[in-house]
Structure formats: C-alpha cells, structure tokens
Structure 1
C-alpha cells in the first residue's frame, strides 16, 4: 500500500470568513486517512475550529482570541503575536525545527494568498507547493499586488483560483504554456444538503420569526470589515426610508469593523429598522426568512454566499464584483448592480417600487441546478494533490 502523502496546510486562523469556511468544508469531506495533514494556524482561534475533523493535526504559532481593537491592555499581546510571526517568517528554519518538529512534507498548501511567502520560503525545496486564491487581487484594495507581485505566485506548482475572472488575470501574466498549466479553476466546495437542512432549524438564539407587517426584509452575511460594504448598505437604507420606502435590513457577521458599523447604525438613526446579529454558526434560517439577499461588497473573489442564497432560492441584488456575473449567469438569476452606493440604491429601490420585477428570478431559480457538486469539487482538489 502506498504511503500517505504528508501535507502541510497554512492559514491565519479559522475565524468566520469565506476562505476559512471553504477550507474546513474541504477537510470535512476528505476521505479519512487519505492524507496525513498538519494544519498550521498563525492564531489558534475561530468558530470553525470545532468543525475540523479529528484526524487533522492542528498546530499553531499563537493561541487566543483575535484582537481587533487597539485597547491599551491588548497592545502587548497584539505586538508580541505580530513580532513572533514575523520572526518565524524571517527565520523559517526555527519554525520547521521547533513547531513542525523537523517533519518532511510532500505537499505544502497556502490556503489563502496571504500565506504565499511563508510557503514559497519553505526550507523543504522538494515539496510540491499549492496556493488557493480567493480574492480578486487586481482590485485597488490590493494595490501592492503589482504585476511583479503577481508573478511571484508562479513559484507554486499549482495555483487554484475560484473564478474565471481571477483565472484570466493570471493567464494574462503567464509567460509560457508551462505557467498557464499551473492555473486551475476550482469551484469552492459547498455542502448544499447541509445548507437546506440547517435552514429548517429555527431553534437559534438569534432567530426571530418575522412580523407579518408586510415590510420587505433585505439581509446580508459577511465578515464585518470595509470589503463587505455594510456602511454603504446602511446609508442606502436610510436614504430609502427618508424617501418613504419602509423595509428592514439584517446583517449577520462579526469582524474588526463591527463597532464602527454599529455606531453608523446609531448615527443614521436606523437601529429600529436594521438588525446587526453578529456571528452565528447557522445563518440559513435567517436568510430563508428574508425577502431579498443583498451583496453590497466593494470587491470579492467568488462570493460563495451567493451560491448559498441561490440554494435557498432567494431573490438577489449584488454589486458587480468579481465572480458575481459568473454566478448569476449575467443577471439571469439575480439583479447585478453597479459597484457603488448609487448602484445599491437603484437595485433596492427597484425591488421596493415594483417587487414584480423579481418574479422572473423566482421562476428561473426553481429549475436551477448548481454547476457543481460538493463531491466533485473535493475530488478535483484531491486529484491535483495526487498528481503532483
């Protein structure tokens, strides 16, 4: 019997983000015993820790909750973590000797683009190296990703990308066929059966059945930081209320910008008409209960949450960010709006003025089938690892 491949996977933490959820879904659906996996976290923290299969060996550089504020009492711990991680990045020999105990790996896997240098600077030159790109690095928010920085990703043996747009960006910088063959489009593993099952579980502490007041509910899910555009969503909410369009906004998620969004909610005077749920392990009953799912993001890679909304047959309004037209089939499955505050405003106003405009999406979603299966996505990645 062939010896199991030894794999090192690196990611920052297992907080409630899309890349983290995708990684854990992948691990949960691997055949136990197929590989010998060490999962190395910069910070042993996050809601998805409990979902990692028991056969995966979890290692970490630091332990404790993520510090998202600059409170005086937290600064020493925050500074130590940053310095310690930078030290090990600068001197990887110490990481491989003392934390990884000198173990030899067949494959080293950067589960997010931010782990690029850590994996490429590995002392184990014979290991095959994979990176999983979840974001559109061409967006201005990633201004440090010049063409030269992009080119560094070709140091990997395989570059997994989650949308056709990101694939094209890499292909345009590939200098030969050999580099082009490194780029692989992979659908994010998504467990639709689990989503449908969880959507019917209304025992959550945060779940409150809707009032029968006929007021439309727009809801959104995401880590609360500027990328997700929740500030834009609340400003549009206020604007539409002032114009006489009653509706509710619901936002599920937590993150370092949560207190700023909470303050904005208060400053706009919309605490009665908008709800910030914070994080929940199961957002699906709340999504199911809403009338519309709204994606207000400034940028994305391939917003998996839209496939979750599609699974639950929700009417969708989404800003035109990477992956959206691909997922919504150029507007056949949902309304794609300009990536701006005005775009979000026009989309929501259209829904509130004439909800019948969205009936066509209801009809199309009834017969829509996902372009992939969970098992196929997982097997595609397994095949890549097996063939390295």
Structure 2
C-alpha cells in the first residue's frame, strides 16, 4: 500500500512550539505509512534548515487571508493530499475554508489557549463567529492537552471530539545531571522563546534587576528571536543589566544550552504547553515557571519544579534566590522532572499521530 500524503500547514518555520512539534513529526513519521510535506504561508524561519530532505516545502506565497484558502485548495488538489493538519488559529480557518469540495481529510489543532488568543485578537466577536462557522467542517481536532481541547470546544460547540496527542519533544534522556555549579560561579540562568509580549521577557528582566539589587551573582541568557528584541535590549540597558542579561538569538543546539544551565526560567504570561520546559526537564536542569496553563499541567510545584504567579517580577526573583540557596533540593526536583519529560517521547508521539491519522 502506498504511503498516504499528509500536509502540515503553518504560517512559517520560525522557532516556536507548534513549529517544533511539526518538525519533529516530519522527522519521525513512519514513511511506509505516511509521506509528509509542509505547506507554509511563507517559507521562512530557522527550522527550515532542519526539515528532512524527503519532505517537500511548499511556499504559499504569503497570500492575504482572503486569498489563502484558494492557494491551499489548489495545492491540496495538485499534490493529492489525503490528510491536512493545520496549526495556529489562522491556518485552521484557512484550511477549513479551503478543503470544502476536496477529498482531503481536515485535522485542525491548537497549541495555545483559544480564550487567551481571542482576548488579544482584533475584532474578537467577528473572529469567534468565523471560528464557529468554519471549524466544525474539520474531520478531527488534535490537541496536546485536554484543557486546550475543552476550551476550544466550549468556544466552538460543534467541533469533533478532541484527540490528545502528546507533543513530540525529546528523543533521549540522559538521567545523569551533565553539569554541577561551582560554589563561586555566578548562577547561570537560561530562558528561551519567541521575543513577543506573551513570553514576558520584560518581567524576567525586571526580576534580574531585583536579583542584582539583592546581591546575587548571576548571568541570564535568553535564546530566541522576534519583534520585541529592540525593546528588550533597551530595557536591559536602561536597568544597567547589559553585562548580566544577554539576548543570544536562536540556538540550534538549544538542548545543550539548557543542559549547561543551573536553572531554566519560563516567565510566560500565557503558554498552552511549553515544549522548551520539557526540553529543560529532559536535560536534568531545574525549572522555574510562571503558572500559566501549560506549566501548571507540567510542573508539580515543589516536586518537579517551582511555580510563581504570572506577571510578578518580585515573586520570580524571590524564587530564583531560594532555588540558588538550596541546590540539593533543586537537583532532586530536576531528577523527578525527567520522569515527566519522558512522557513526551518523539517516536511515541509520532506513532500516536500516525495511528490517529489512520483512523480517519
């Protein structure tokens, strides 16, 4: 039997959680069952360098929202796509509009809180109405957590039942801690994510000013790219932190950077899941996060990591100081967290995805 053609639709391949999940699936899907391809609104982003050679990348030309469904429909038909999986709210709408009248099975997905997205969207009532009209055309809904599925189904009542597919994050876990901090070395903090307001790097930088004022020796390295880079650099400079807070851009070897850290910090205001949090857990690095939806589902506070309130620089700084003062307790939490990370194995996730595709 020939492998079924499955297309993954994304706006781009800039580093992000949904993009990383799709990239890992493209690498791991059983080629005897499925032949994956990428359809991108714009064929751009650092993750393009990691796309396997046997995965075609189709550039949809940056079409505007009104024209995008037509471009997608043409590509679905032209490439004989049997299953199309879309990630992000905008691509879900475009795919559902495009696939009507084709033989393509439509799978929509969400990787972040739909309510939080609507709260920040332009014309949220219009967006909600369009979602309710178009999304029920989907043949399946795949989500990384039950909470995201329940939230979307509450907003769009006629959706198919949600199927939970664990995110594909780690392919191997070294259960030996790769790095120990020397007593006189600065605390090495690492964070990562798109440089956008939702990731709250501004709050993390403010927390670093408090750490300095309280006499803690530290170095924070932030990996990521995005539109907030200039404002964040300006904030760092204005607080006199340019030598202690580094914006290091995209890291192709992020797992190694995480393993070298004393503490991974995720300050996000909203986080549907938190792939990078799982990567840090897998690396054996202690984790601290603001208690948005994703981290609350991944971290058992006090046992596998630490949680603090969202948008609270003082609480973030206090937690970092407490963790630095008790390295043995932090190491014990990090060891327990590796068991959590093991649930998000890439091969197991790809098999779950393939089996769910097959049931369509």
TM-score, normalised to structure 1, is 0.81
Change in Cα spacing, 1:277 to 1:51, as seen in structure 2 (3 Å) is: same
The two structures, once aligned, show a CA RMSD in angstroms of: 2.9
Change in Cα spacing, 1:293 to 1:165, as seen in structure 2 (3 Å) is: same
Change in Cα spacing, 1:359 to 1:283, as seen in structure 2 (3 Å) is: closer
Q: CA deviation at 1:101?
A: 6.8
Instruction: Say if 2:145 is the partner of 1:159.
Output: no
Q: Aligned equivalents of 1:287 and 1:369: distance in 2?
A: 14
Any unmatched runs of 5+ in structure 2?
A: none
Any unmatched runs of 5+ in structure 1?
A: 63-80, 203-208
1:247-326 counterparts in 2 under 5 A? 247-326=218-297
Change in Cα spacing, 1:280 to 1:359, as seen in structure 2 (3 Å) is: closer
Q: Aligned equivalents of 1:245 and 1:129: distance in 2?
A: 52
Q: CA deviation at 1:87?
A: 5.0
Q: CA deviation at 1:349?
A: 3.3
What corresponds to 1:85 in structure 2?
Answer: 64
Check conservation: 1:190, 1:374, Cα contact below 8 A.
Answer: yes
Q: Deviations over 1:70-101 (max 9, x none)?
A: xxxxxxxxxxx5xx433522xx445544x567
What corresponds to 1:187 in structure 2?
Answer: 166
Q: Aligned equivalents of 2:220 and 2:321: distance in 1?
A: 13
Check conservation: 1:32, 1:55, Cα contact below 8 A.
Answer: no
Give the match's secondary structure for 2:207.
helix
Q: CA deviation at 1:50?
A: 2.3
TM-score, normalised to structure 2, is 0.87
Give the match's secondary structure for 1:44.
coil
1:31-70 counterparts in 2 under 5 A? 31-62=30-61
Which of residues 361, 380, 384 in structure 1 aligns to 2:333? 361
Q: Count residues with an aligned counterpart.
A: 352
1:306-385 counterparts in 2 under 5 A? 306-341=277-312, 342-355=314-327, 358-362=330-334, 364-365=336-337, 370-385=342-357
Q: Aligned equivalents of 1:296 and 1:234: distance in 2?
A: 10
What corresponds to 1:216 in structure 2?
Answer: 187
Give the match's secondary structure for 1:139.
helix
Q: Deviations over 1:35-59 (max 9, x none)?
A: 2433211111111112222222211
Which of residues 129, 144, 147 in structure 1 aligns to 2:106? 129
Q: Between the two structures, name the one with larger relative contact order (CA 8 Å, sep ≥ 6).
A: 2
Change in Cα spacing, 1:281 to 1:366, as seen in structure 2 (3 Å) is: closer
